[in-house]
Structure 1
Amino acid sequence: MHIKVASYNIHKAVGLDRRRDPDRILAVLREIDADVIALQEADLRFGDRASVLPRQAIDDHSPWKAVPLRMRPDSIGWHGNALLVRREIEVIHAEPVPLPTLEPRGAVCAELSIAGKRLLVVGMHLDLSGLRRRHQLRAVLNHIANCGRTAPAVLMGDFNQWSHARGAMREVDNGWHLLTPGNSFPTRQPVAALDRIVVSSEWQCLRKGVHHSPLAARASDHLPVFAELITA
């Protein structure tokens, strides 16, 4: 299996010009052209937590579909986390993953089938608190272990982790590999690799990086990260 994955904190589709522009976010995603995408801050924080990327816009102007979580009528995710996959990818199962936190944080998990081959994908947005981040990543890994995972897995999102090896990253141990595509925050002058990708041992990483483009430079306060993976 050969796929390209990406993670993008879209900052509620508000760019550096302070304009909310969902079409601009979709244009950046089309530049990246990934098969599976994890989004963070993809909904409005209050009220019905409606998606900032209208489902109709995704359907009409992109090659992806939102992984259905059916949490709220106008939302495509949970606590701002959403997954987009190419339309030909089959969604076997999808669910939210509750995380230990005082803030409205969470993760979303989906089992997918690509040309008959299965994989597990988790998108997440971890806490600003270092101790809670570690507990949250442990909760995600425990959730996957309790599911009896047999398929290759990809975990990605805004880890809010400045250190490459300390804090929550200590939870990434046997059977998992941390990919740090590069500095992705803040957009104007990236100095922190907050956005990470973690893969199970079945994957080989062919390429990873931060997506730089004039459009991405103003669409959000984070730059998107990506990885091209193949099963070993």
Structure 2
Amino acid sequence: MTRSSGVPLRVVSYNIHSQRDDAAALAAVVREAAPDVVIVQEGPRRFRWRQRCATLADAFGLVVAAGGLPALGNLLLTSLRVRVLATRDQRFPLTPGRHLRGAAYAECAVAGGARFTVAGSHLSTDPAERPAQAALFKRELDAAGTPVIAGADLNEGPDGPAWAAVARGLTDAAVAADRADRLTYSCADPRRRIDALFVDPRITVVDYDVVDTPLTRRASDHFPIVVDLLLPVTD
């Protein structure tokens, strides 16, 4: 980890297990982290999804930036410190007999002259279809006009082809912080690092943590990733 000048930003990437666990614990975990941006996997994506996304954001002390049903449960939330400039959602092609997957993107700005693109995705549990989804996600990341911050549940570890495809040309925040031994799944029996945060090489990783506490073990089946970054001044 190298400290340098830049605009600070705290990011959480979190698979919230479709809010099937302890909702109060989930809200407490995120509020304690005090993030500027939360990249959610398995967020609301069905009946009354807009209201449910807004309720979730309010429980976290944040606002909805992008995602929900159009991004198939990938949801981007921000604090009022972050200004959202543009958003888009993506759906990956459906493999018959499998679940639809997608991604959400938001171009953002923060005071101090920094702009960035935040993105989130949740790749398939099927190893046969993950690489194609990763390629589509990566194509959008490469097309971003500002430094990228990408959080994802990749459903495979760093030795997998989909992980390698997304990571290419980006910094794995866990590796940059020398904490790639921190496992993210499952809370009941941590054995794998399948959740990741990747950033543009121009972004400095100041700190990285996988939060394993009694509270996070009640909140979801994944541990949250909390990363402190310094963004380059782009304005």
Cα distance, 1:207 vs structure 2: 1.2
Cα distance, 1:139 vs structure 2: 0.7
How many residue pairs match? The answer is: 216
Aligned to 2:102: 106
Deviates more, 1:180-189 or 1:167-176: 167-176
**How far, CA to CA, are the matches of 1:199 and 1:28 in structure 2?**
23
**TM-score, normalization: structure 1?**
0.83
* Larger RCO (CA under 8 A, 6+ residues apart): 2
Residues 12 and 39 in structure 2, CA contact (< 8 A), matched pair in contact too: yes
Q: Percent of counterpart pairs with the same letter? A: 26
Cα distance, 1:157 vs structure 2: 1.7
Cα distance, 1:68 vs structure 2: 4.1
Residues 42 and 77 in structure 1, CA contact (< 8 A), matched pair in contact too: no
Aligned to 2:49: 50
By percentage of residues, which structure has more helix?
2
2:93 partner letter: P
Q: Superposed, which structure 2 residues align to 1:42-191 within 5 Å?
A: 42-43=43-44, 46=46, 48=47, 50=49, 53=52, 55-56=54-55, 58-59=57-58, 61-69=59-67, 75=68, 78-102=71-95, 103-115=99-111, 116-146=113-143, 149-162=144-157, 164-172=158-166, 175-180=169-174, 182-191=182-191
Cα distance, 1:49 vs structure 2: 5.9
**Structure 1: 5+ residue stretches without partners:** 16-20, 70-74
- Partner secondary structure for residue 214 of structure 2: coil
Aligned to 1:28: 29
**Structure 2: 5+ residue stretches without partners:** 1-6, 175-179
Aligned to 1:209: 209
Residues 105 and 120 in structure 2, CA contact (< 8 A), matched pair in contact too: yes
